[in-house]
Structure 1
Amino acid sequence: MSNKSLGILYGVLGVVLFSSKAVMVKLAYRYDVDTLDLLLFRMLFSLPFYIFILFLIRKKAAKAKIVPTDYAWLFLFGFVGYYLASYFDFLGLNYIKAGLERIILFVYPTIVVFLTWLIFRKKITQVQFIAILVTYVGVLITFWDELDVAGNKVLLGGFLVLLSAVTYASYLVGSGWLIPKFGVLRFTCYAMIASTFCIVIHYLVAGNWDFANYPWPVYAYGLAMAIFATLIPSFLVSAAIERLGASNFSILGSLGPISTILLAFVFLDEKLTYWQLVGMLIVIFGVTYLSIQGKKRAKA
């Protein structure tokens, strides 16, 4: 198998496994598990693996000189990109379908464009603007039927998941210069450890201390999320980006909403209406077109 084919395989597996996280969260919520408890399980169960990986690469030299302020920035990015993004996402899944959650999260490349313009004053081209506009029209169409249900909290859930997309996009924009200094493996492990620390502190302050009284499936879902929706896909995606490049991999990301919707249909019996499917396709088209144009601009 060629290097490129292997990269595509790794990328597809990584995207599908990441997409399974929302389904596992919804399955765990059937047991009335607290959001913070479930997030704590996910991070604590994955923590030993990241510490072990750090131990394995301990003798591998960093790619550039690392100063104390770099660790402060790394902690900040772990706080924003893994703790805040995960917490908002888990909260939002209390109120909306897993398929809708993935469609909202999928707009993060458009947020990256906005943040790049806001922070670095990088001009938004006409093509980018049109692609972004198309994407958000798709999101509005997707939510139209959900908003017809009186008294539901779909707007709150959608807003929380959008906050997750914003914080994750902020992490991508801000950490780009730091990842090459640490290397992908070391940076990912440190960031995950930092986010776990933040979640533990959050739990010590606001937790209900009922984490030992859930039925065994809750812990099983927490462990499954830690291994199959966090640990394994994080390295599959890194391997795919190494072989394909970030631009090519971003196009594979369009499989995310589709795989989540299929998994939610099989395991949660979630069904999307005709208009929601149309909206999903519009969102996928907008983000994929934006990614392809970004790739062309990078080559120019």
Structure 2
Amino acid sequence: MSEVKIRSPDVSLLSGLGLAVLGAVFFSGKAIVAKLLYQHGIDAVTLIGLRMLLSMPVFVGVAIWTWRRPPRLGARDRLRIVALGLVGYYGSSMLDFMGLQYISAGLERLILFLTPSFVLLLGVLFYQRRVARRQLASLLCAYAGIVLVFWHDLGVGGRDVALGSALVLAAALAYAVYLLLSGELLERVGTLRLVALAMSSSSVAALLQYALLRPLPGLFEQSAAVWQLSLINASLCTVLPVFVTMFAVRRIGAGLTAQAGMVGPVSTLFLGWWLLAEPITALQLAGTGLVLGGIFLLSARKV
């Protein structure tokens, strides 16, 4: 009798998918933590100030560790990295947290998930890239889902939902600009060094913003609950997903990482229901399904 060989699972693939899912869930959790922090009376300026204050030592440490790696960074490269950090991390995060004051965590995560479609559209506008039929179908599907969820939340929250959605949409657009402009620099400088330097510059910007708008000592005069939630926001929802997702991309590629990351909006929807008592309706589930389906079509092409 011939022996039947059973193929063992690809350990690298499974571990990469696990890292991608872990990164997506924890990164999506920042919306939940932000909502919990707002219940303690702080605003977006204080929230992002605490987030970057607590996460900055890690990013600065990694930036110092990778600084001497080739190639050597010239003045132009440094300015570009700072600019990218201000747009892609500081600007995007600030707009996102401001928007979260007005909309549900589930809607926020779905809007941010449109970032790949913005990258595609910006490429068409500024680089004359062509859009395939499959890509167009994915865009229509994703935007139809956002309209459904937005329509549902608009009936509950009124004009505040429109304002919050516009702010988060601007956050997604800012991060899309970062992704589009960082491609060449990412390959030449390296992911680890670029992320560490960009996050360090955004951390400095967030703290300078607080110092300009508030008395700086006030940032340290927060309640124990605010410090605890901010530590979770900085460690589990910022530092951990940034590096975990990077390792996932290294193991399984950007395409599979993007597909695995689609668990993010779903996890946010159910975490919002569990921790924030945000309702889950059939309309929200339908909209979420359309968005995930659209992004799947867009990312599957890259696998």
CA contact (8 A) 1:46 1:230 kept: yes
TM-score, normalized by length of structure 2?
0.92
Find out whether 1:46 has 2:60 as its counterpart.
no
SS in 2 for 1:247: helix
- Written as runs of structure 1 = structure 2, the 5 A alignment for 1:207-226 is 207=214, 209=216, 210-226=218-234
- Written as runs of structure 1 = structure 2, the 5 A alignment for 1:104-115 is 104-115=111-122
- Uncovered stretches (5+) of structure 1, i.e. residues with no partner: 296-300
Distance 1:213 1:262 in 2: 33
Identity of aligned residues (%): 34
Question: Alignment partner for residue 18 of structure 1, among 20, 23, 27?
Answer: 27
- Aligned-pair distance for 1:67? 2.2
Find out whether 1:196 has 2:197 as its counterpart.
no
Match of 1:136 in 2: 143
Question: Alignment partner for residue 99 of structure 2, among 82, 92, 96?
Answer: 92
Match of 1:245 in 2: 253
Deviations 1:244-289 (A, max 9, x none): 1111111112111011112111211111221111011001001111
CA gap of 1:66–1:150, structure 2 versus 1, over 3 A, is closer
Find out whether 1:156 has 2:156 as its counterpart.
no
Distance 2:108 2:88 in 1: 17
CA contact (8 A) 1:99 1:260 kept: yes
Distance 2:157 2:24 in 1: 34
TM-score, normalized by length of structure 1?
0.93
Match of 1:254 in 2: 262
- The code of the aligned residue for 1:284 comes to L
SS in 1 for 2:195: helix
Distance 1:113 1:14 in 2: 23
- Aligned-pair distance for 1:208? 5.7
Find out whether 1:126 has 2:133 as its counterpart.
yes
Deviations 1:95-129 (A, max 9, x none): 01111110111111110100111121111122211
CA contact (8 A) 1:23 1:268 kept: yes
SS in 1 for 2:177: helix
The count of corresponding residues between Structure 1 and Structure 2 is: 293
